[in-house]
């Protein structure tokens, strides 16, 4: 098995992160500093920063993130993170992608760096569904610039996406969106580009995996079938 894949399966980091560790000379194989092309065979001893590592059984969780929590393992400002929801009963897992502090919804956490890389790498275009509550009344025509790709803050032009109205009145409009990329605060910036403020943002699905049966602030383990589904996306 290639060394970067082995390290990812050990839960050290994503493959890209493991490549960086190897390039920095922090990984050894049977006492010798690794190169990116090295393979690991049964019985080999692999160490990262002098500490031996090995493949462990990966853990996979789905969490319904509330607003007011960071999608990180820790925060130097003392703010609440999703790890405060998981508590001590769960091992050292890592959030896959991000939901910003003011957003809520589906978040996957795992020790499987390879799956995390697969779900977040732009080339894989994994679909993610969001429910967005926007100020004021919108029409379907108002969403056309967002559907076709719109220039947002910073000069980036978003990719095409699906968007349709599920509810509207004078005070707000609810829009369901399916995106295949995940730029920081992208949806909020997309609506800002058409002069509208997002009041609520919730991720409801990754592929067809949904939050059904998971209350806000709760979590559960993913089933083996769900894990295999995510790997197939």
> Using 50, 70 and 90 to split pLDDT, how confident is the model at 11?
confident
Residue where the block lists tokens 């960071």: 70
Query: Is 80 exceeded by the pLDDT of residue 89?
Result: no
Question: What pLDDT is recorded for position 90?
Answer: 82
Provide the 10 A C-beta neighbour count for residue 212. Answer: 7
Q: Which of 7-16, 56-65, 106-115, 137-146 has the lowest mean pLDDT?
A: 7-16
Taking alpha carbons only, the member of 97, 107, 23, 13 closest to residue 64 is: 107
> Which bin fits 195, alpha (ψ -120 to 50), beta or left (φ > 0)?
left
- The catalytically annotated residue of 39, 84, 100, 215 is 100
pTM above 0.85, yes or no: no
Question: What pLDDT is recorded for position 134?
Answer: 98
**Full residue range of the structural domain in which residue 174 is found:** 127-206
Question: Based on the domain organization, do 194 and 218 belong to the same domain?
Answer: no
Question: Based on the domain organization, do 145 and 161 belong to the same domain?
Answer: yes
**CATH number, domain with residue 153:** 3.30.70.1560
Q: Select from 53, 69, 90 the last residue of a domain.
A: 53
Provide the domain count of the chain.
3
Helix, strand, coil percent values for the chain (each to nearest 5): 25, 30, 45
Structure tokens at 114: 């390879």
Taking alpha carbons only, the member of 76, 116, 84 closest to residue 206 is: 116
Rg (CA), the chain: 20
Is 100 labeled as catalytic in the residue annotation?
A: yes
Question: Based on the domain organization, do 87 and 141 belong to the same domain?
Answer: no
Residue 173 φ then ψ, to 5°: -130, 135
| DSSP string computed for 11-75 | TSS-HHHHHHHHHTT-EEETTEE--TT-B--TT--EEETTEEE------EEEEEEPTT-BSSS--
Q: Select from 12, 29, 53 the last residue of a domain.
A: 53
Question: Based on the domain organization, do 191 and 150 belong to the same domain?
Answer: yes
Whether 112 and 9 have beta carbons less than 8 Å apart is answered as yes
């Amino acid at each position: 098995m290639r060394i970067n894949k082995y390290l990812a399966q050990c839960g050290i980091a994503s493959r890209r992160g493991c490549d960086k560790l190897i390039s920095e000379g922090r990984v050894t194989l049977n006492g010798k500093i690794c190169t990116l092309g090295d393979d690991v065979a049964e019985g080999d001893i692999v160490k990262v920063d002098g500490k031996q590592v090995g493949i462990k059984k990966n853990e996979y969780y789905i969490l319904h993130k509330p607003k007011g929590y960071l999608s990180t393992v820790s925060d130097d400002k003392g703010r609440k993170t999703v790890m405060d929801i998981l508590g001590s009963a769960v091992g050292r897992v890592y959030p896959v992608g991000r939901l910003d502090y003011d957003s809520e919804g589906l978040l996957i956490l795992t020790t499987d760096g390879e799956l995390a890389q697969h779900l977040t790498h732009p080339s894989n275009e994994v679909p993610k569904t969001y429910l967005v509550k926007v100020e004021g009344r919108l029409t379907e025509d108002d969403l056309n610039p967002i559907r076709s790709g719109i220039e947002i803050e910073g000069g980036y032009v978003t990719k095409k996406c699906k968007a349709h109205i599920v509810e509207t009145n004078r005070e707000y409009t609810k829009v369901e969106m399916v995106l295949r990329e995940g730029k920081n605060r992208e949806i909020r910036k997309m609506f800002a580009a058409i002069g509208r403020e997002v009041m609520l943002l919730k991720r409801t699905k990754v592929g067809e995996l949904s939050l059904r049966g998971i209350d806000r602030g709760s979590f559960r383990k993913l089933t083996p079938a769900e894990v295999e589904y995510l790997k197939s996306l």
